[in-house]
Structure formats: C-alpha cells, structure tokens
Amino acid sequence: MKRFFALSICLSLGACADYGFDPVSVVSPRANEVQSLDGASTSKLYLSVVNGLLSQGRYRAALAYLDQYAVKEKKTPYFHQLYGEALLGTGQYEEAAAAFAKLGNTELAADGFSGLGRARAAQGDWIGAEEEFRRAVAARPSSAEFLNNLGYAQLTLGGDRLKAAEFNLRQAQELDPSSGSIRNNLLIAFMMTGKNDEARRLLAGIPASRERAEVQDFAAAWVRERQPAGPAKEDM
C-alpha cells in the first residue's frame, strides 16, 4: 500500500491512530458527536446500527445497512455523513468525497469539509486536503480535531506553511490537551522548525519512558523522511 507519510496509512487503525494524523483514523464519528437516537423509528434504528458498525470498523457491513436504508428512507444529511465515513473506511475515496460534498449547505457542513479533506489526504492530495481542512476550521473554529488535521496537512506540505502549522497545532492542543495525536504532531512541528527545547519539554510530559521513546523515534523518522538534505538537527 502506498505510504503517504512515515507512519503508513492503515485501515485496521490500531496503533496507527496513536502517532500523528492518519486520514482514516477519524473515520468513526466521535461518541460526543453522535446524534441521540431513540430507536423508535425504522430510519433512526438503521442509522443507530450503522453508527455502531462504524465505531467497530465494520465499514462494509455499514454500507450494506445504508444501502438498505436508502431503499425506502429519505437520505438526510446524517445519512450522507455516515455513508461518506463508510466509503472512506473501505478505500472508496472519490465516492466518499461525493457523499461528503452533499453536506456543504447543511448543518453538517463542517463535517463534510473535514471528510473531503480526509479523502483528499488519503489520496495524497495534500494541497486539496489543506483547503478542505481550512474550510472545516472556518465552519467550526473550536474543533481540536479539525485544527489538528489542518496542522498536519501544513506540516506535510512544509515550507512557508510550517509557521501556520505550529500555530494551529498549539491551538488544537490547548483545546484538547489530552490528545496524543495533537501532541505528536506538535512535536513534529517543533522539530521541523528547530525548536528543540520546546520539543524536549513536550516529550518530558509523557510519563511512560517506553511511549516517550516511541514517540520521539516516530517524530524523528518523520522529520528525516521530509528533510533528507536539511541541516543536521541537534540531538534531543
């Protein structure tokens, strides 16, 4: 499978979600963003089942339920959101993008932009991903997840985007201090810009020595892959 960045993109999630941004690692709707469903109606029951399947990584089963739902029920914005997530999870990126694009003029527009960004990132189109993540952040500025995604896209593009990446990742961490993904991406930003003192302080905040070493190795490998001809970095 094509590697888009130092940590290979993997559909089995697992450890991939632990280090940095993975465009597929946020495929399942977060628990605190799931709509409250009473299960009384057939349509709500179907979508409730689909949401549970997505949370388990059972994307093909989710698609089957969504296709059954579409036979008789109205395709709501929430349906298109779940359909996009299921398609993204099965690697059908263009189809997923088409589903997410239908959310543009709805109350789920921000989620649609985020989904489009993840679909673009999964295809290696980081310029397109950055544009969509910007739109997601503009629609929902307080989302740590969206800021993290935007920051990672900017890190990947590098160059004059690094300053913006650091700002967005700092903001994301203030909004969600417990996120390991945000922390790791911010560490990469510090290393990319030569802010080794700040990188050391960030690493020092990881209590487990094994995890600290793994995160440092991951970030260092990520930076080396993108700066093969750059000046030697000070050891941390």
Residue 147 pLDDT level (bands cut at 50, 70, 90): very high
Q: Is 78 in contact with 48 (CB distance < 8 Å)?
A: no
Maximum average pLDDT range among 1-5, 61-65, 229-233: 61-65
Per-residue confidence band for 236, with pLDDT thresholds at 50, 70 and 90: low
Give, in order, the Cα–Cα distances in Å from 136 to each of 11, 49, 64, 147, 182. 23, 27, 28, 9, 17
**Highest mean pLDDT, choosing among 27-41, 61-75, 122-136:** 122-136
Question: What does each C-alpha distance from 89 to 78, 118, 188, 196 come to in angstroms?
Answer: 17, 11, 26, 36
Determine the average pLDDT of the residues in 178-195.
Answer: 94
- Flag whether pLDDT at 56 surpasses 70: yes
- The Cα 124–Cα 4 span in angstroms is 6
Name the least confident of 21-30, 186-195, 217-226. Answer: 21-30
Residue 174 in tokens: 């203030």
In this structure, of 39-43, 134-138, 199-203, the range with the lowest mean pLDDT score is 39-43
pLDDT at 73 over 90: no
Residue 120 has pLDDT above 50, yes or no: yes
Q: What is the pLDDT of residue 74?
A: 84
In this prediction, residues 7-24 reach a mean pLDDT of 38
Out of 4-8, 43-47, 88-92, 148-152, pick the least confident: 4-8
- What pLDDT score was predicted for residue 39? 43
Picking from 42, 40, 41, 110, the residue whose alpha carbon sits closest to that of residue 77 is: 110
| pLDDT at residue 235 in the model | 52
Q: Which residues of 44-53 are buried (b: 16+ CB within 10 A; e: fewer)?
A: bebbbbbbeb
On whether the CB atoms of residues 36 and 64 are closer than 8 A, the answer is no
> Are 156 and 187 contacting, i.e. CB atoms less than 8 angstroms apart?
no
Q: Which domains does the chain have, with CATH numbers?
A: 14-226 (1.25.40.10)
Radius of gyration for the chain, computed over Cα atoms and rounded to the nearest angstrom? 18
Q: What percentage of residues in the chain have a pLDDT greater than 70?
A: 78
Range list of β-strands (E), 12-75 = none
| Mean pLDDT across 172-197 | 95
Phi-psi sector, 123: left (phi>0), alpha (psi -120 to 50), beta: alpha
pLDDT band with cut points at 50, 70 and 90 for residue 70: confident
Secondary structure (3-state) at 107 = coil
Is the pLDDT reported for residue 232 higher than 90? no
Segment 93-113 mean pLDDT: 96
Q: How far apart are CA 58 and CA 52, in angstroms?
A: 9
Q: At residue 68, what is the residue type?
A: Q
Q: Look at residue 29 and tell me whether its pLDDT is greater than 50.
A: no
3-class secondary-structure state, position 35: coil
Give the integer Cα–Cα distance in Å for 14 and 234.
Answer: 32
Residue 144 near residue 138 (C-beta atoms within 8 A): no
Mean pLDDT, range 41-46, rounded to an integer:
70
Binned at pLDDT 50, 70 and 90, residue 226 comes out as: confident
β strands within the chain, DSSP E: none
Mean pLDDT on 193-201: 94
